[in-house]
Structure 1
Amino acid sequence: MNQTTPEDAMKGISRRRFLLGGGLTLGGLVLGDAVYREPRAFQVEEVSLPLAKVPPGRELRIVHISDLHIRNFHGYYKDVANAIASLSPEVILLTGDYLERNRSIRNVLKFLKMLKAPQGIFAVQGNWEYWARVEGENLRRHFAGVGVTLLLNRRHDLTLQGVPVSILGLDYPSATDNLLLLQRRADPSRLNLLLSHVPAFAHESLNDRVDLILCGHTHGGQVRLPFVPPFYLPRFSGRFVGGLYQVGVSGTPLYVTRGVGTSLLPVRFLCRPEITIFRLHAAQ
């Protein structure tokens, strides 16, 4: 008959305490990373993309950000603005969700005032602008006051490195009739960049006039685990999570950024915030 000695019992208790303590420590580290470090540890993602309408020897530098979800203006957003400035973009493109339901438009404008691009800053609005009831012409006037052009199903023309470019702003929720309207207005001889807050819309209606689509909305899933699909993606995300895709009959490149801020819960895990710099150059 085996008997458990006091020494054996103490060893078992010590082992359980060790495993419990290790688990609590690991959980604390993960929680600290998700709540305090990662939501402010943005990454600069560089995307080098060949496009047929960019002549040889030219390179267009464009910064894309989205999903700021600014509640309070603090040092993190200053760091984001400084990082964008260091990339020397010709144009900055914004794809929606700038504020939260507390209607923090003043804090959004503080951030936007810090952004500089010689050829302009262009934006579309997202679902949070509608939910906060700071949308449409109201938001357009606010943005114009700080040098940002809000495109409500409109086209804006400019020239980058001698290349004629059009920014096409598709308003949320990217309805098919608005997409068709913008495509009819697009000049096929120009480089046409389409901004949409959401990535999931009528891609089957795309034609070869649109050369690149930029979107946000998904936050990249915000909380991720290896080899596991995102726990949650908002409506109109579809199959898109983050990164570069090809859509439509012409295989139009569509890029989804992970965004700068957080929504619903102020956490990120294995899904850091993102600033994207595009280097658009000639196709080989």
Structure 2
Amino acid sequence: MAGVTTALLANRELHHFELHEYTLPLLKPGTLGTNTLGKPEEFRILHLSDLHMIPGQEDKEEWVSGLVDLRPDLVINTGDNLSHEKGVPHVLRALGGLLDVPGLFVFGSNDYYGPRPVNPFLYLLGKKRPVGDNLLPWEGMKAAFQEHGWLDATHARRDIRVGRVKIAAAGVDDPHHDLDDYSTIAGPPNERADLAIALVHAPEPRVLDRFEADGYQLCFCGHTHGGQLCLPGGRAIVTNCGIDRERARGLHRWKSMLLHVTNGLGTSRYVPFRVFCRPSATLLRITDDPAYEEKHPNRH
């Protein structure tokens, strides 16, 4: 009976969505200008990942679609949108008006391949599981993203301007299953950019090291689900990748680079549980940095 009660509570956690927020002073003073009250503006980035959509998740669709009210300037999607072959229309309904906001995306392995049935307790052993053999309709989802103006950052360098902010972005395919090829994007980001960001589904250290060495300021990742089945206080037991447990979720330093790993918004449909780790999205408020010149004496 205790096991059943625990499982029910862990499943209920899937429906308690949270928004995390951070303020990051990263921009050269004057980049954003001021509002009508004379206060510095902010550049809002909404980070979404690991929707793992299946039919029948109306509460998730409604909550995610409501994030458009945050008025983000840019949406970052780091993959694993699907968990069912009929999930694409539900992904698009969940994203809703966010698709009309400038966006960048990379995919994870669960965009390409459906999940396999798995014993939830094996998850806690942290063993790498092979991908499934049932292909998911990722091509149609990618086309829909691009038709709305979102840019695919997979093995691509993207220089874009959003409002007053010039962004240099780059990403790779999912390194957890060795789909990445960093050589396609290697090298420093555009030096004329105001903000250099990196995207990758799984925060595998070998890829994070390359982004950091090339000079990216901020890297966005998903995949870990924040640990998903955690100890009290949200302490991850496993990360399901090479990242350390202390950086399984939230904002951290990776040497000189900032790293944001999101809890994600869903789970595999075969492991519909979360413990001390609620599903979430994150709003990052990028602001002018008063100490910019001191930190970057050689950057103009």
Given the two structures, how large is their TM-score scaled by the length of structure 1? 0.78
Matched residue type, 2:155 = N
Match of 1:44 in 2: 19
Equivalence map 1:152-167=2 (5 Å) = 152-167=154-169
Q: How has the CA–CA distance of structure 1 residues 60 and 94 changed in structure 2, closer, same or farther, with 3 Å as cutoff? A: same
One-letter code aligned to 1:159: R
Match of 2:230 among 221, 224, 228: 224
User: Is residue 91 of structure 1 aligned with residue 94 of structure 2?
Assistant: no
Give the gaps of 5 or more residues in structure 2.
32-39, 115-134, 291-300
CA contact (8 A) 1:64 1:276 kept: yes
Matched, 1:199 2:203: yes
Q: Does residue 258 in structure 1 map to residue 240 in structure 2? A: no
- Contact (CA 8 Å) 1:90, 1:117: kept in 2 or not? no
Deviation at 1:229, TM superposition (A): 5.1
Would you say 1:76 and 2:52 are equivalent positions?
no
Q: Give me the whole-angstrom Cα distance separating, in 2, the residues matched to 1:112 and 1:52.
A: 28
Written as runs of structure 1 = structure 2, the 5 A alignment for 1:22-61 is 30-36=6-12, 38-53=13-28, 55=30, 57-61=40-44
Q: CA deviation at 1:81?
A: 2.7
The 5 Å alignment of 1:111-122 reads 111-118=94-101, 120-122=102-104
Larger radius of gyration: 1
Matched, 1:247 2:254: yes
Shift of 1:59: 1.4
How far off its partner does 1:176 sit?
Answer: 10
C-alpha separation between the residues in 2 aligned to 1:181 and 1:102? Answer: 30
The Cα shift of 1:224 comes to 1.2
| Alpha-carbon shift at residue 79 of structure 1 (Å) | 2.4
Q: How many residues align?
A: 256
- Contact 1:194-1:214 at 8 Å conserved across structures: yes
1:121-140 matches, within 5 Å, as: 121-132=103-114, 133-134=135-136, 139-140=141-142
Letter of the structure 1 residue corresponding to residue 142 of structure 2:
R
Deviations 1:232-261 (A, max 9, x none): 43234454310112114xx10000000001
The CA RMSD over aligned residues, in Å, is: 2.9
Moved more, 150-159 or 137-146: 137-146
Secondary structure of the residue aligned to 2:158 is strand
